Structure 1
Amino acid sequence: MSATETQTVTQNEPEAATLRLRPAAQTEDGYKYAHLLPVFDPNEHFPPLVPYDHVDPGARALQHADPRAFIANATRISDITPHLGTEIDGVQLTQLDNDGRDELALLVAQRGLVVFRNQQEFLDRGADWYREWGSYFGRLHVHPTSGHPEGLPELHLVYRDANSTFNFERSERISTTLWHSDVSYELQPPGLTTFFLLSQPTTGGDTLFLSQVAALKRLSPQFVAFLRTLKAVHSGVEQANYSRSGNRGGVVRREPVEHVHPVIRKHPVTGQEALYVNKQFTTRIVGLKIEESETILNFLYQHMAASGDVQARVRWEPNTVVLWDNRVTAHSAQVDYGESKERRHGARITPQAERPIPALDGLDLTL
């Protein structure tokens, strides 16, 4: 496989299912965001993604006299942890001009995670706003299997209530924690990512975040030097099979793909190096024996999971909007609210970024 070639994994299609729109359990009268509930159309199909030239808005902010001018009037700015995350009050994302958006992109790249409270206007702007907002930061990704609002495939939805779930959940696992970077199997995975909850449980349903930059820095220089020479396969096959088996709405809109990415990538704006493997989508390290690959990957997964000192936890207060940089920050939802039977309805705007840049110059990314 060449450095830019996409490996598409063709699978047999199941018999056509009945068109599934909003499940009956979700359509009760009076829900403010009923128009943003997930739909699943088995006849909806999209062609393979093609490469595109990504220009990171954060790079422009490096030339600004004050790259943090957009938060000059914030009423509160608080770092969540020393290594990851900043929480901001008093800034309305809907009011940012282009310079402000560029500065936002730079701050998210630098801090990995930025949390904005009291963003009711952002949530209520609707479909055209979501598209316009996300498109500023890159080409919008359309998820191959998740639910989306009717007529808005660019908005990835997570949804669970008392009667149904349309998320990637494995009930046979001990824990619901599953660290990952979103759709890392794509040739050009996401960069700056925006997520918000339209409805949240009274307690629980938090999201954990992990600095893959800080996690990398904890490793010995000798080991990091070795990891820089490695590349790994990221695959969307399991995710597609999960849907084809009747879960999550049961649709696959685009055939699953696999791509090779560096184990350590470099951020195009900050120059920071970050681990870029995750348990959900990384399947093997190219060129190593099975046991060698599994040993290294499992060590890295355990290191990430155990490193509470480079993690942050976001509690979803109403009208919160969270942005993170998928290139340097991993995350995991926490499904700890199931017994409450409360709804958790979230939306993700997911612009694609560049193909991961190897930390090691000249690393061959062919399979």
Structure 2
Amino acid sequence: MTTLGNINYDEAIHFHNDSDSKSNTGILTVSKDNLSKTEFPEWAPTWDIKHDHTFKDIEPFKHIDRGFSGDPEFKSLKNIDGASFKKVSPKLGLAIDGIQLSKLNDQQKNDLALLVAQYGVIAFRNQDFKHQSFDEIKDWGKYFGPLHVHPTSGAPLNHPEFHLVYRRGSEEEQKKHFKDKLHNIAWHSDVSYENQPPAFTLFSMLQTGESGGDTQFLDMFEVYDRLSPLMKDKIDDLQVLHTSKDQAYFAKLSGGIERKDPSNSIHPLVRYHPVLKRKCLFINKSFSRKILGLKTEESDDLLIFLLNHIESCLDAHVRLNWDENTVVVWDNRRVLHTATTDWDSSDIRHAFRVTTIGERPIRNQQEYENWTPEQEKEKIRLTDYLTNLSAADYYEKVINI
């Protein structure tokens, strides 16, 4: 699909063969100069050659969201001494102080899962999370679901379950962002190309500058709700191909690794949230490529319309600023997010992400209740077949049955 514009390539998560380094043992990492400026060197991004193409997609499983066990009144969180809650906007976003994520018990984590679903994204201030051990953080994340392993991004050595964002202290890197484009905004849902994409995402800052580099979040419930009833009716049952092939290509082009083969998945254009029982639009420019059953121009035009609608909904988004003790947790099913490249200093910006795998995207409550891993395995086997059907064949063999 060429009419959708350039695919965003995030230099902050990938190896740079023109500036990073390679050890004698085959470990790729950042340059010695950048490593010397890194405040948490144990969190320095690495790409281990021995991990290249050694990971597999997780087998389909029935995900039970912890939010189902959450207390709608959130008493276990609101009764914490010194806790404060402030809405970022009327419908999206919450800022919390006085609660340590690392100290939550199981019921508090259940309440947290429901709170994140209801507000979409929550910024927790004054956190000690980054000072926990790798294993402690992983165990914390596993409570919400299996941990995702990113196919191409940097990770701490021997801990591929973490996804690292590392913006090098280089003016040249900053110039790259705008060399061939007017802006670097890239609204996306993390790794939506997975058959079971993430639900619960935690992002912890390690090192940052004095200002800038905010993360913006967009409410896809609101984006969907603003469409006309007729448009909703027309798109509710459409299916979209999501792929990691472009991300994998750029990672290898810059000298990095692929921990597993590129993924293709077919997901509903309109996704149902099983905890909140609401629908949202589920596409993004980074990974969504084709609406099945439409001809190329039809698919491109509809995707462009919907993506332009997404990018214009700045009255449905919030912007969260960072400091070095902030942790942000969001619902990857409900919100899109984008980095903000608005600084030109030589500050290193370093953060890690823990991402838990959620349910298979579904269209409605009935589909959620009837879903089984066995049926899903058969659908996965049909991915290439369905993707390559002509518009006429798709209508005849999939729609008109």
TM-score under structure 1 normalisation?
A: 0.88
* Greater Rg over alpha carbons, structure: 2
CA contact (8 A) 1:108 1:323 kept: yes
Deviation at 1:42, TM superposition (A): 2.3
Pairing 1:314–2:314 present: no
Find the partner of 1:348 among 325, 348, 353. 353
% same residue: 37
Q: Whole-Å Cα distance in 2 between the matches of residues 329 and 170 of structure 1?
A: 25
Partner amino acid, structure 2, of 1:25:
D
Pairing 1:260–2:260 present: no
CA contact (8 A) 1:206 1:314 kept: yes
Quote the residue 2:42 is aligned against. 35
Deviation at 1:361, TM superposition (A): 5.4
Q: CA 1:362/1:75 → structure 2, altered by over 3 Å: closer, same or farther?
A: closer
* Structure 1, 155-164 or 20-29: larger mean CA deviation: 20-29
Partner amino acid, structure 1, of 2:362:
I
CA contact (8 A) 1:228 1:359 kept: no
Deviation at 1:293, TM superposition (A): 0.8
Q: CA 1:139/1:169 → structure 2, altered by over 3 Å: closer, same or farther?
A: farther
Q: Whole-Å Cα distance in 1 between the matches of residues 48 and 324 of structure 2?
A: 30
Quote the residue 1:148 is aligned against. 155
Partner amino acid, structure 2, of 1:233:
L
- Secondary structure of the 2:201 match is strand
Q: CA 1:65/1:240 → structure 2, altered by over 3 Å: closer, same or farther?
A: closer
TM-score under structure 2 normalisation?
A: 0.81
Quote the residue 1:242 is aligned against. 250
Q: Whole-Å Cα distance in 1 between the matches of residues 98 and 111 of structure 2?
A: 16
Pairing 1:118–2:126 present: yes
Quote the residue 1:107 is aligned against. 115
Partner amino acid, structure 1, of 2:60:
P
Q: Whole-Å Cα distance in 2 between the matches of residues 274 and 53 of structure 1?
A: 21
Quote the residue 1:13 is aligned against. none
Q: Whole-Å Cα distance in 1 between the matches of residues 353 and 307 of structure 2?
A: 24
Pairing 1:326–2:321 present: no
Find the partner of 1:357 among 359, 362, 365. 362
CA contact (8 A) 2:187 2:284 kept: yes
Pairing 1:270–2:276 present: yes
Deviation at 1:22, TM superposition (A): 3.7
Find the partner of 1:305 among 283, 292, 311. 311
- Secondary structure of the 2:29 match is coil
Deviation at 1:196, TM superposition (A): 1.3
Which structure dedicates a bigger proportion of its chain to helix? 2
Find the partner of 1:293 among 295, 299, 302. 299
Deviation at 1:360, TM superposition (A): 8.3
Pairing 1:213-224 to 2, within 5 Å after superposition: 213-224=221-232
CA contact (8 A) 1:229 1:360 kept: no
- Secondary structure of the 2:91 match is coil
Unaligned 5+ residue runs, structure 2?
1-21, 369-375, 387-401
- Secondary structure of the 1:293 match is helix
Partner amino acid, structure 2, of 1:353:
G
Deviation at 1:169, TM superposition (A): 6.2
Deviation at 1:133, TM superposition (A): 1.3
* Structure 1, 95-104 or 351-360: larger mean CA deviation: 351-360
- Secondary structure of the 1:145 match is coil
Partner amino acid, structure 1, of 2:202:
T
Q: Whole-Å Cα distance in 2 between the matches of residues 362 and 57 of structure 1?
A: 19
CA contact (8 A) 1:159 1:165 kept: no
Pairing 1:54–2:60 present: no
What do residues 48-74 of structure 1 show as CA deviations (whole Å, max 9, x unaligned)? 21222211111011xx47434313335
Pairing 1:45-194 to 2, within 5 Å after superposition: 45=52, 46-49=54-57, 50-61=59-70, 64=71, 66-73=73-80, 74-119=82-127, 121-163=128-170, 171-194=179-202
Q: CA 1:238/1:65 → structure 2, altered by over 3 Å: closer, same or farther?
A: closer
Aligned residues: 343
Q: CA 1:106/1:231 → structure 2, altered by over 3 Å: closer, same or farther?
A: same
Partner amino acid, structure 2, of 1:297:
L
What do residues 201-230 of structure 1 show as CA deviations (whole Å, max 9, x unaligned)? 211110010000011111111111111110
